[in-house]
Structure 1
Amino acid sequence: MRAVVFLAALTVCAVSTPVYSTNDENWTLKDEQDLRDGYGPDPDGVPLDFRCAWRKLALDYARQLRPDSVPNVHDALLLGSMCNVSLSEADKSVVPVFPPREWPAKWFERDDGVTQYVDAMNGDDSHSGTTPDSPKKTIHAALAATRQAGPGSKIVLRKGTFHLSTPLELTPADSTLIISNYPGEEVWVSGAHPLNNLQWKSHDVTKGMNVYVADVADAEGIAFTGLRVNGRRVTRARRPNSDPERDFFPKGWFDTSTATKWLPAHEYGPAREVQLGPVRNITGMFEMYGVGIGGPCSQFSPPVSYWCQKSPPGGGGFQYYVPSGVTFNGKEVFSEAYGPVHGAWKNVTGAVAHVWRKSHWSSWMFAVDAYSPLRDTLHWTWGGFQGSRGGPGSDWFIENVFQELDAPGEWFFNRDTSQLFYFHNASSGTAPPADLQVEATNLQVLINITGTQANPVKNVTISGIGFRDAAYTYLSPHGVPSGGDWGLERLGALFFQGTENCVVNSSILHRMDGNGIMLSGYNQHTVLSNNNFSWTGSTAMAAWGITDEISDEGKHGNDGTDGNFPRYTMILNNVVRETGIWEKQSSGWFQAKSAQSVLRGNIIYNLARAAVNINDGFGGGNDITENLIFNTCRESSDHGPINSWDRQPFLTTVNGGTAGVIPLVNEIHNNFLVSNYGGTKGGVDNDDGSILYANHDNFEIYGWGQKNGIGCGDHRSYNNVHLYLSTGYRGHTNFFGHEKYADQIYNETWLFGTGTADYIQLGSGCQDSATFRPPDCHDNTIYDATANQPIVACGKQKMTVSEWQDKTGLDKGTTVS
């Protein structure tokens, strides 16, 4: 795939065509843009034919990558409503095959080990399990049999749903195990507990209400943090009302103006600061490894963070804190504007407050301790660790308050009485039907594959399985992976630690309330391929290495030379959509303290935040290529579809086999990237400290041409096509440090269609010859479809491109049309 191919495909676009109007009978752009302060599927001022052309092209590319993705991609691209483009009969006829038939067929030819068949409906654990006619009933029983038989065994699951009461634990004794579905059969492994034989009684069926209650006989020991009705996630009683799967910000949130005061942070005492270095001198910034231990980071696990230093370097850096509560405008919060009026809450036991961090960089969850109705104040202690930066709160909502059970589809579970209350979506007095399928989420982890670096689990393959309904993890302990902006829980529905050559292939992870897959610590040559992730509460796939951040006064926190981290991970041809239902600081792929990952051929869209996040430089050597990414940052801001940081230098042996802090170059190339909604910082947002990136041959729509945060260096941006971008290159002249690490931008094709049309934006320092080191730009082609002439902005200085060329002698070969 070459960017020039995509450019040729869009030559039908004419910049003089009329802008798509909100008066068009087929599409109301304003409805989408109003969702988030003007964010929308396209920026203002973009012609209709261009909007439709890139969407058709994206659909064509999705068809090449994953033909079975086309119906959902077509819907997400708004091709029907915006462009009157219908799905072809050929696209409609592509039905996803639950397993790839060729993989199980080869496995069935194996004669080593044993094969255990498992049937949730017709099996019995007393059966041998060795034939399809004599299956076991539970996967745990089959695992015990394969472990006894030895290497080369298989567990084959027959059609149906397996509800796990405890996680499936795999150890090094299970190496070479294969777990698959029976060819052609649909199999689901669920972390939810089915609630059978519920006897519904009316509770409140007056004045438009239709709330019924049922006793839950077997609720003891069940987490009961989420509910599924007929397989769909339904809403725990909340205010303001919202459906988390159909709505996104601002619907369902109190506006930040309702919070009259954020209460001061709890006092945890001072942090013990650790400073190592300088250990890296490339850009003149982020040379030190620094953290704070304890103090305000006491709630993190482990209690250490880059952001717990008193003065952490970085854009807008300050020591971590979160509010201990909020005082709100009761008249507004309890007004009809947010639904039926209930007045002050009578009982907030078990309530959870969801709060956006200011600037929408992350969302926090707090377990509410108390509510003061006279002052309309909520108090909390536990929580706020779901993002690492801390700061003041913003928009918010509250859930799990019985008094707010007032909308169809809402539910509440009373733990004291073991009663489930449910607002059935029907006319008042209509009870839930007897065949209503109701399940309570219970397990956070479905399969736990854990070995050690010295004795890893090897060659385990999971294929053709559907996984669903893991319980939320947003109030479980979180840690700060490194110097990026993230807080993260070391949990996943599929959890890997201490593994080699493990595979998850052609599987579905659906409606997980936490992370989908977590690669923790030592994992080498993991393959995640051809999977589907949808409606995920937090991050779809994450990799997070381990360094010793605590012992010996934290002096080894930056030492990754022991290899206890994910390496050589292959993330291939997955489809990730509807991510960040609960935790907004989430993504399709996240990595920290990991190296040499390959992301190729993935389709990622409809996310609360960025699609790909690289939290640090660590060993580098990542390759991100041939992916289709759009509709990112739908609920947040200040990001691009792909985002990186590198504020902490880590010592690894990745680059050359000897210990060093200079990572391998990361390549981001040949991707189709759309910077719409709030992902306006361009296809690749190399934020604070990011070094050694080669971004090339990408096809990018909207946003910025290349964004480099402070302290960045050695970015080579070349052969990219950027269409209807708002800003070109944005960087800082006075942070480049060594000359050999200066940025390079060449052979780029940039069409300005929105915004300022600034070709280059540089920070202060243009007058200071000692620090003035602009990027090495040359041979770029600039087109302008705005009323503005492309300019170079250097601090307060502004000049045309030709004036810039004449004054500095730079940018040779660059032309403006």
Structure 2
Amino acid sequence: MCLRGGTYFLSQPLRLTGNESGTAERPVLISSAPGETARLVAGQPIPASAWTAIANPAEQARLPEAARDRVLQADLKSLGITDYGQLQRRGTYTEPDASQLHLELFQDGEALTLARYPNRHPREGWIQVQGFPEGLKGKKFQIKGDRLERWNVDDAWVYGSWSNTWSDDTIKVASIDANEKTITLTEAPLPYGFSEDEGKPFGRFFVFNLLEELDQPGEWYLDRATGILYVYPKPSPQPPEFIISMLENAVVFEPGAHHISLQNVVIEASRGTAVRLEGHHLSLAGCVVRNAGGKGVVTTGENITLLSNDIYHTAAGGIMLDGNREKGKLYQPSHNLAQNNRIHDVNRWERYYRPAVDLEASGGQLIHNLIYNHPHMAVAFGGSDHQMAWNEIHHVVIETEDAGAFYRGRSWVNRGHAIRNNYIHHIGRYFNPVQAAEDADTGIVYGPFTQDEFGDIGIYFDDRDAGTTVVGNVIHGGTVGVWVGGGHDQKIIGNILIKATRAALRIDTRGLINTYCTLENYQTPDCNDELYRKTMEHNPLQPPLATKYPELAKKLRENRDMRSPLDNQAVHNLAVNTENIDFRLIPSQQPLVDENNDFKRQNNPQISIEIDSDDPRAIVSAIPKELLRRTQVPEQFWEQVGLQEDAYRDKSGNLKLTLPAS
């Protein structure tokens, strides 16, 4: 089936069901016509004739004086648009109601910014919290400056990090007191309320959804009571195209769909996830997925392929590659594949713990993708037996700490993963071009957010995670190249770890803060190790887990001390321009003994060398051949890693699909 080129404004999602399905011998192909590009838009255009100067002098007076003659308004109710969705609490610990997500405004294919203070451009600013009149568990906090005097907070919200550097929360404002310079929220921040760091108030935020802060090109505001939409347009060489998002999803493959491929189309402007694939033997190939108010693509099924798509400018993550979670099938391979995709800038509304790619269920593959420009982790993986290879990942974990480009945590049963031959570079704050700064009068801060010692990490196994193989990767930057946070059965073999600021490789024993649990006492008060108890809920001593992962069952049956790192391997790794490979105890900082692990310090030591360069490619080229052969990084690494030319991409990695004119 061919879609002729042009823009299609959808009144309902494109739904593909069992009725539209094909067979293995004759799959159904839906694609743009040759040489043309179809654009599927889950929104509605605002015609040029609908925009006027602001009619109400009182509303105009609320705007900053310099913006009053530049802001336009459109009456959505007169266009028949009355469903605006809802601004909602959303963040690390809160999933919004996807069916009620709020509309957004796009100009010429780019999402505009809901009016906020401090502004996002040209430098993204944050307001530093100054104090807590009701204590750390209250809902009120203080700020500097006199900005509050300008605000009408009927529907104002705040977004920020309130108690640590690795979680976020969006909360509605209840009231402000300009005299006391305080803001009171409707709810206390999750997960811990407010916090202090070395006796000083912690936390930074911005306030948004304020007409009074509509003060620069590319911002907008909607008066939900009147239906009046305001915009400060961005400069445009031609009459701009304005679109508001309307539908939760743009494309939905229903659970009964099978043997269907959607190719070479542009999909955009959904309020929630742009594309959902819920059947089997489905594919999305050569498409552009952008400007979604949730994730870009979510799969829930088997034998689903995402091939050579560009996914960007979404609000809460890029791809969730999930599989079959039915009882009895959780540990069966999904055979889902994400290959040759470009994924970037996918955290417009939820910045932390919404990875560019999230691998769940079992047996997913992440191969030859390019991922970049991400404030937090690039790849998170749960489930079991995922393969992640030949991906290029850069400029990630640039806003937060205690996170990795690849990240897993807190499971002994979700194991069997492999991270092979990936190129991970320019990790973390060290490479963030924005330098930290603070305005003493306003309390506005700029730049990276730092607090604890964990920093930004290339590959991070948090809180005693277990059972992943890390082989032949090139990792450049970060505070630590690979960090094993006290877990088991981690194999770190033959990697090249370049210019980590603290340690190329770190293995610790953070689990020793718990009590020693056994099969005899884990259900009694003598055991306070929640990870041990959580593991036993999965019946690891019985099939399918005992058959699939006998090494875990053996440890448990032998009542080994599961608090300690057990049966880890760290061999043949090469540290370049990094002082140390650090096996240590936390918090005592004593060296970690080798008797329960295979680090081979004597017979097969980790090696550290210095090369006068800061370019990873030049560094790897300069490594003596006899040392390079000790690693698992192949000589043809650069030709094989990252995006590859195929039917949808050219030699430069660009999609052959042409974006249609607005």
Indicate if the aligned counterparts of 1:601 and 1:626 stay in contact, CA closer than 8 A: yes
Residue 606 (str. 1) matches residue 373 (str. 2): yes
What are the Cα deviations for residues 793-812 of structure 1, in whole angstroms up to 9, with x where unaligned? xxxxxxxxxxxxxxxxxxxx
Query: Partner of 1:514 in structure 2?
Result: 294
Mapped to 1, the partners of 2:593 and 2:580 lie a distance apart of 28
AA of the residue aligned to 1:181: S
Residue number in structure 1 paired with 2:355:
587
Whether the 8 Å contact between 2:508 and 2:565 is mirrored in structure 1 is no
For the Cα contact (< 8 Å) 1:496–1:518, is it kept in 2?
Answer: yes
- Pairing of 1:386-465 with structure 2 (within 5 A): 392=195, 394-425=203-234, 435-451=239-255, 456-465=256-265
Shift of 1:743: 0.9
**Are 1:193 and 2:39 an aligned pair?**
no
Alignment correspondent of 1:760: 583
For residues 476-509 of structure 1, the C-alpha deviation after alignment (integer angstroms, 9 at most, x for no partner) is: xxxxxxxxxxxxxxxx211233x11111111111
Q: 1:437 to 1:783 in 2, by over 3 A?
A: same
Q: 1:469 is matched with which residue: 269, 277, 299? A: 269
State the 1:546 CA deviation: 8.0
TM-score with structure 1 setting the length: 0.56
Cα separation, 1, equivalents of 2:328 and 2:3: 41
Contact 2:509/2:565 (<8 A) preserved: no
Residue of structure 2 equivalent to 1:745: 570
Shift of 1:160: 1.0
SS at match of 1:332: coil
- Is 1:359–2:164 an aligned residue pair? yes
By how many angstroms is 1:566 displaced?
A: 8.0
Instruction: Please report the TM-score for the alignment, with normalisation by the length of structure 2.
Output: 0.68
1:173 aligns with 2:35: no
Aligned residues of 2:160 and 2:204 also touching (Cα < 8 A):
yes
Q: Using a 3 Å threshold, how does the CA distance of structure 1 residues 159 and 237 change in structure 2: closer, same or farther?
A: same
2:634: which partner in 1? none
1:327 aligns with 2:159: no
Partner in structure 1 of residue 120 of structure 2? 242
Identity of aligned residues (%): 19
Q: How many Å apart are 1:764 and its aligned residue?
A: 5.7
Distance of aligned partners of 1:545 and 1:253 in 2 relative to their CA distance in 1, 3 Å threshold: farther
Question: Quick one: which of 418, 422, 442 aligns to 1:667?
Answer: 418
Stretches of structure 2 that go unaligned for 5 or more consecutive residues are 23-27, 86-101, 196-201, 431-454, 512-559, 613-629, 632-662
- Which residue pairs with 1:574 in the alignment? 341
Q: Is the 8 A contact 2:162 2:189 kept in 1?
A: no
Tell me if the contact between 2:323 and 2:362 (Cα under 8 Å) persists in the aligned partners.
no
Q: Which amino acid aligns with 1:494?
A: V
2:587, 2:205 → 1: CA distance?
Answer: 37
- Code of the aligned partner of 1:742: D
Deviation (angstroms), 1:390:
7.4
Mapped pair 1:636 → 2:487: no
Q: CA deviation at 1:163?
A: 1.3
Task: Say whether residues 1:213 and 2:73 are aligned partners.
Answer: yes
**1:409-808 to 2 correspondence within 5 Å?**
409-425=218-234, 435-451=239-255, 456-471=256-271, 473=272, 492-497=273-278, 499-520=279-300, 523-544=301-322, 560-563=327-330, 567-585=334-352, 586-592=354-360, 594-614=361-381, 616=382, 618=383, 620-647=384-411, 661=413, 665-678=416-429, 681-703=456-478, 704-710=480-486, 712-726=487-501, 727-733=503-509, 735=511, 737=561, 741-753=566-578, 757-763=580-586, 773=596, 775-778=598-601, 779-785=604-610
**SS in structure 2 of the partner of residue 640 of structure 1:** strand
Match of 1:444, SS state, is coil
Q: CA deviation at 1:373?
A: 4.6
Q: Once the 2 structures are TM-superposed, how far is the Cα of residue 638 of structure 1 from its aligned partner?
A: 1.7
1:669, CA displacement in angstroms?
0.8
CA–CA distance in 2 between the matches of 1:713 and 1:611?
23
CA contact (8 A) 2:332 2:363 kept: no
Taking the aligned partners of 1:262 and 1:495, their CA distance within structure 2 comes to: 44
> 1:434/1:629 Cα in 2 relative to 1: closer, same or farther (>3 Å)?
closer
User: Deviation string for 1:25-51 (max 9, x for gaps)?
Assistant: xxxxxxxxxxxxxxxxxxxxxxxxxxx
The amino acid across from 2:52 in the alignment is W
Q: Which amino acid aligns with 2:151?
A: W
Q: Deviations over 1:181-209 (max 9, x none)?
A: 11121221112211112141246598422
Distance 1:757 1:786 in 2: 15
Shift of 1:604: 0.7
User: What corresponds to 1:129 in structure 2?
Assistant: none
Distance 1:644 1:608 in 2: 17
Deviates more, 1:718-727 or 1:603-612: 718-727
Opposite residue 343 of structure 1, the aligned amino acid is: E
RMSD: 3.5
* Maintained 8 Å contact 1:757/1:786: no
C-alpha deviation, 1:369, in angstroms: 4.2
Structure 1: how far apart are the matches of 2:257 and 2:75?
Answer: 43
Q: Tell whether the 8 Å contact from 1:609 to 1:635 is kept in structure 2 after alignment.
A: yes
CA distance in 2, matches of 1:689, 1:545: 25
Deviation at 1:513, TM superposition (A): 2.5
Q: 1:328 Cα shift?
A: 2.2
Structure 2 contact 136–193 (Cα < 8 Å) conserved: no
Question: Is the 1:734–1:772 Cα contact (8 Å) retained in structure 2?
Answer: no
* 8 Å Cα contact 1:579-1:608 kept in structure 2: no
Structure 1 position 163 matched with structure 2 position 9:
yes
Q: Deviations over 1:701-743 (max 9, x none)?
A: 1232421113x11111111111223303322347584799411
| Structure 2 SS opposite 1:208 | helix
